[in-house]
C-alpha cells in the first residue's frame, strides 16, 4: 500500500510475539506518562533528596570534605539502617506524588475516549493490557525508589573505608523489598482508582484520599472498639512498621500501634486483590447494561 | 467451511437472551448484517471478537472458536466499532501505528503502514493532527484506517456510515467497495441502513429479536424471486391478456386497461411488445421491478413473525 498508489494490499510479513505486544502497551504508556513536563518536574523533585543523601554519604566518608565544610573530624552523619530508612521513607512518599500524577494519565485517556473496544479488539487480553500499564507505572516509580536507594547503598559501600557492604546486606534487601512492596501497591491502587474516574485531576485526588482517609477511619474504629486492628487501615502506619522491620531498625512503639507483620502483609494483599477486582469490573471492551 | 460458522449460538447478557440459537454459515466476500435496533447485531460482532462468552453453541471465525481462540482470531480481524473509540490526544498516525503494533506488526512496518492506511482512507493531509480535533467523518475514517493498517483477513465494520453527511457517506461506501474489489479481505458490515448493505454486500444475514430472520445471497435471492410488471394498455386488453398468459405469465386485469403480471425468467419485456404489436394493443406505460433488499428484508421480518427461527430464505 504505497502512499502514492493509495491502494490496499494485505500485510504478509512477520508478526511479533504476544509478549512483545504487552511491551508495546508499556512503551506507549511510558511515552504518555513522560509527555508531560509536570512528570519531568516531579521526577527531578523526587530525586533531590537522593542527591542530598549522596552528598551526606560523601561527607560521612571523606574527612577532608568534612574539614572543608567546617565539620572537622567529627562524624556528621551515621550511615546505617536508620539513615537508609529515612531515605526509603522519603522516596516512597515522593513516589506517591509521582504515582498519583502518572497513573491517571495511563488509564483515563483510554477510558474517556472509549478506546478499550478498539484496544481490546486486537490480539491483547485484558490481563495483557493491565500488565503493560503496570509495567510502565512500576518502571517510573522504580526510578525514584529502589533504583536510587540501592545506588546510594552501593556508593556507601564503595566510599566506606571499612568493609561495609557485606556486613549490611540486610539493608539492601530491606530497601529492595520495602520499595517494591510499596510501588506495587501504589501501581495497583493508582490504576484501579484511575479506571473508575474519568477526570484525571479527580483521580489524582482520590489516590491521595485512598491512602490517607482510611487512616482516619482506622483510628476512629480503633478508638471506638478499643482494638488495634483498626490501624490496619492506616497505610502510612503499616508501611512505616513494615519498613522498620525489613531494615532491622530497632524502635520503641506504643504496643497499641504494634501490628503483627503477617497481618500487615495480609492487609496489603487484600488491598491489591480489591484493586484487581475493581480493574476487572472496569477494564472491559463492552459495558453490559444490567436490568 | 464458511468464514463465519454459527452453530446454535446463544448469548445471554445479564440473564437476558440476546442471541437465541443462531445457526448458519456465512461465506460471502462482503456480508451484511441487518436488523432493527436491538436485534443483536453488535452482540454478534462482540461474540465473534471474543468479548462475550456463548451461553450455548459455538461461533467460529476461519474455523477458530470465537472464545477459546480469540487472540488468534483478533490477529486476523480489523474492527471498526460503531461508537467513538480512539485515543484523542494522539496524532492520527501515532494512533494507527499504535493499533498496528498491537496487532503484531514490527514498529517500523507499523509506522509505514499507518501512513499508507491514512492516505488510503483520505486522511493523509491531517495525519499529524490530534484525533480529538477531527470531524465526525474523519474519526470514522481514522477508525477504518486502524482496522486496515495491519492487513486483516476479515474487516468488521459496525455502522460505518453512522453520522456521516451524504458526501462522506458516499466516500466511505466507495472505500468499502474498493476494499471488497481488492479481494484479499472479507467484510462483515453491520448496519441498519438497507442502502449501505445493498451497495456493498453480496450476502446478508438479517437478525430480529436475537434470531436469524434470513440468511441469503442477495443477488441469488433477487434472481430467484419473480419480476412484477405493471402495464397500462389501450385496445383489446382481454385478448392481449390471454396471449401473454399463454407465454407462462401470471396475469391479472383491471379496469382501464391496467394489467399486472408476473413474468418468468425466460420472458423479456420485448416479448410483450411483440404480442402487443401483433394484436394492435398500445402499451402506454410499463413499470417493471425486481425484488429490492428492502423486499427481502420485509419478507424476512414477516417470515420471522410467522415463526421461522433460522436458515436460508
The pLDDT tens digits for B17-46 are: 999 999 999 988 999 999 888 889 999 999
* Residue B187, phi then psi, degrees to nearest 5: -125, 140
Contacts of residue B79 in chain A, CB cutoff 8 Å? 117-118, 121
**The predicted structure's pLDDT at residue A277:** 96
Confidence class of residue B290 from pLDDT cuts 50, 70 and 90? low
Residue with cell 495511563: A106
CB atoms within 10 A of CB A19: 9
**What are the grid coordinates assigned to A127, written together?**
490481563
Q: Does this complex have an ipTM over 0.90?
A: no
Inter-chain CB proximity B75 and A123 less than 8 Å: yes
Res B308 pLDDT > 80? no
Q: How far is B311 from chain A (nearest CA, A)?
A: 29
Percent of chain A with pLDDT over 70: 93
CB atoms within 10 A of CB A5: 11
- Collapsing DSSP states into helix, strand and coil, what is residue A291? coil
Residue in B51, B89, B105 closest to A285 by CB: B51
Least confident window among A129-138, A226-235, B246-255: B246-255
Contacts of B14 (CB under 8 A, 6+ apart): A288, A289, A290, A291
Res A162 pLDDT > 70? yes
Angle among Cα B135, B90, A39 to the nearest 5 degrees reads 140
Confidence class of residue B309 from pLDDT cuts 50, 70 and 90? very low
The answer to whether A250 contacts chain B (CB < 8 Å) is no
What pTM, to 2 d.p., does this model score? 0.84
**The predicted structure's pLDDT at residue A37:** 95
Residue pair A89/A26 in contact (Cβ under 8 Å)? The answer is no
Of the two residues A73 and A37, the one the predictor is more confident about is: A37
Cα–Cα distance measured from residue A219 to residue B220, given in angstroms and rounded to the nearest whole number: 76
Cα–Cα distance measured from residue B54 to residue B50, given in angstroms and rounded to the nearest whole number: 9
The answer to whether B117 contacts chain A (CB < 8 Å) is yes
**The predicted structure's pLDDT at residue A63:** 82
Domain ranges across chain A: 17-282
Confidence class of residue A75 from pLDDT cuts 50, 70 and 90? low
The pLDDT tens digits for B91-147 are: 999 999 999 999 999 999 999 999 999 999 999 999 999 999 999 999 999 999 999
Cα–Cα distance measured from residue B60 to residue B196, given in angstroms and rounded to the nearest whole number: 26
**What are the grid coordinates assigned to B284, written together?**
402506454
Res A289 pLDDT > 60? no
Residue pair A248/A170 in contact (Cβ under 8 Å)? The answer is yes
Residue in B85, B151, B185 closest to A114 by CB: B85
Rounded to 10 deg, the angle between the B107-120 and B92-102 helix axes is 130
Average pLDDT, chain A: 90
Q: Which of residues 135-174 of B touch A (CB under 8 A)?
A: 143, 146, 148, 150-151, 153
Contacts of residue B75 in chain A, CB cutoff 8 Å? 15, 122-123
**The predicted structure's pLDDT at residue B131:** 95
**The predicted structure's pLDDT at residue A275:** 97
Of the two residues B271 and A175, the one the predictor is more confident about is: A175
Q: How far is A16 from chain B (nearest CA, A)?
A: 5
The pLDDT tens digits for A42-68 are: 999 999 999 999 999 998 888 888 788
Residue pair A158/A72 in contact (Cβ under 8 Å)? The answer is no
Res B54 pLDDT > 90? yes
Amino acid at each position: 500500500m504505497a502512499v502514492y498508489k493509495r491502494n490496499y494490499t494485505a500485510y504478509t510479513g512477520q508478526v511479533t510475539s504476544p509478549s512483545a505486544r504487552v511491551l508495546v502497551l508499556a512503551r506507549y504508556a511510558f511515552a504518555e506518562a513522560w509527555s508531560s513536563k509536570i512528570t519531568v518536574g516531579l521526577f527531578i523533585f523526587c530525586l533531590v533528596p537522593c542527591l542530598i543523601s549522596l552528598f551526606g554519604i560523601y561527607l560521612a566518608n571523606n574527612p577532608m570534605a568534612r574539614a572543608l565544610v567546617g565539620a572537622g573530624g567529627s562524624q556528621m552523619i551515621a550511615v546505617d539502617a536508620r539513615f537508609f530508612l529515612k531515605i526509603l521513607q522519603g522516596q516512597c512518599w515522593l513516589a506517591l506524588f509521582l504515582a498519583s500524577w502518572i497513573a491517571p494519565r495511563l488509564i483515563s485517556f483510554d477510558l474517556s475516549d472509549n478506546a478499550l473496544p478498539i484496544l481490546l479488539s486486537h490480539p491483547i487480553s485484558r490481563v495483557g493490557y493491565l500488565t503493560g500499564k503496570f509495567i510502565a507505572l512500576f518502571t517510573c516509580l522504580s526510578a525514584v525508589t529502589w533504583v536510587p536507594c540501592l545506588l546510594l547503598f552501593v556508593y556507601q559501600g564503595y566510599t566506606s573505608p571499612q568493609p561495609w557492604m557485606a556486613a549490611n546486606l540486610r539493608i539492601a534487601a530491606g530497601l529492595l523489598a520495602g520499595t517494591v512492596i510499596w510501588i506495587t501497591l501504589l501501581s495497583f491502587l493508582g490504576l484501579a482508582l484511575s479506571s473508575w474516574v474519568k477526570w484525571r485531576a479527580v483521580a489524582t485526588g482520590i489516590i491521595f484520599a485512598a491512602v490517607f482517609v482510611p487512616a482516619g477511619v482506622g483510628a476512629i474504629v480503633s478508638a471506638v472498639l478499643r482494638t488495634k486492628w483498626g490501624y490496619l487501615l492506616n497505610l502510612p502506619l503499616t508501611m512505616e512498621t513494615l519498613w522498620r522491620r525489613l531494615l532491622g531498625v530497632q524502635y520503641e512503639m506504643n504496643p497499641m500501634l504494634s501490628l503483627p507483620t503477617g497481618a500487615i502483609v495480609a492487609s496489603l494483599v487484600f488491598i491489591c486483590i480489591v484493586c484487581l477486582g475493581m480493574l476487572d469490573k472496569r477494564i472491559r471492551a463492552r459495558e453490559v447494561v444490567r436490568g | 467451511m464458511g468464514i463465519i460458522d454459527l452453530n446454535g449460538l446463544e448469548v445471554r447478557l445479564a440473564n437476558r437472551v440476546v442471541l437465541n440459537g443462531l445457526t448458519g454459515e456465512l461465506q460471502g466476500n462482503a456480508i451484511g448484517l441487518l436488523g432493527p435496533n436491538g436485534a443483536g447485531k453488535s452482540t454478534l460482532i462482540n461474540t465473534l471478537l471474543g468479548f462475550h462468552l456463548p451461553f450455548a453453541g459455538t461461533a467460529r471465525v476461519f474455523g477458530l472458536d470465537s472464545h477459546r481462540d480469540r487472540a488468534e482470531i483478533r490477529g486476523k480481524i480489523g474492527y471498526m466499532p460503531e461508537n467513538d473509540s480512539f485515543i484523542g490526544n494522539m496524532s492520527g498516525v501515532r494512533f494507527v501505528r499504535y493499533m498496528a503494533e498491537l496487532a503484531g506488526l514490527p514498529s517500523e512496518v507499523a509506522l509505514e503502514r499507518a501512513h499508507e492506511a491514512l492516505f488510503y482512507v483520505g486522511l493523509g493531509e491531517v495525519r499529524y493532527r490530534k484525533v480529538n480535533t477531527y470531524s465526525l467523518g474523519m474519526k470514522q475514517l481514522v477508525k477504518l484506517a486502524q482496522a486496515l493498517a495491519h492487513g486483516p483477513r476479515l474487516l468488521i465494520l459496525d455502522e460505518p456510515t453512522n453520522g456521516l453527511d451524504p458526501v462522506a457517506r458516499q466516500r466511505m461506501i466507495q472505500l468499502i467497495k474498493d476494499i471488497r474489489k481488492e479481494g484479499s479481505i472479507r467484510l462483515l458490515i453491520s448496519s441498519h441502513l438497507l442502502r449501505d448493505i445493498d451497495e456493498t454486500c453480496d450476502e446478508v444475514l438479517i437478525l430480529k429479536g436475537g434470531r436469524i430472520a434470513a440468511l441469503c445471497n442477495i443477488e441469488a435471492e433477487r434472481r430467484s424471486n419473480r419480476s412484477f410488471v405493471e402495464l397500462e394498455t389501450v385496445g383489446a386488453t382481454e385478448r392481449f391478456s390471454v396471449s401473454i398468459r399463454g407465454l407462462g405469465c401470471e396475469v391479472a386485469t383491471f379496469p382501464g386497461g391496467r394489467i399486472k403480471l408476473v413474468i418468468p425468467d425466460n420472458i423479456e419485456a420485448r416479448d410483450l411488445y411483440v404480442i402487443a404489436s401483433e394484436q394492435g394493443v398500445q402499451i402506454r406505460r410499463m413499470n417493471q421491478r425486481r425484488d429490492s433488499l428492502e423486499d427481502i428484508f420485509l419478507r424476512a421480518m414477516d417470515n420471522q413473525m410467522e415463526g421461522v427461527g433460522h436458515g436460508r430464505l
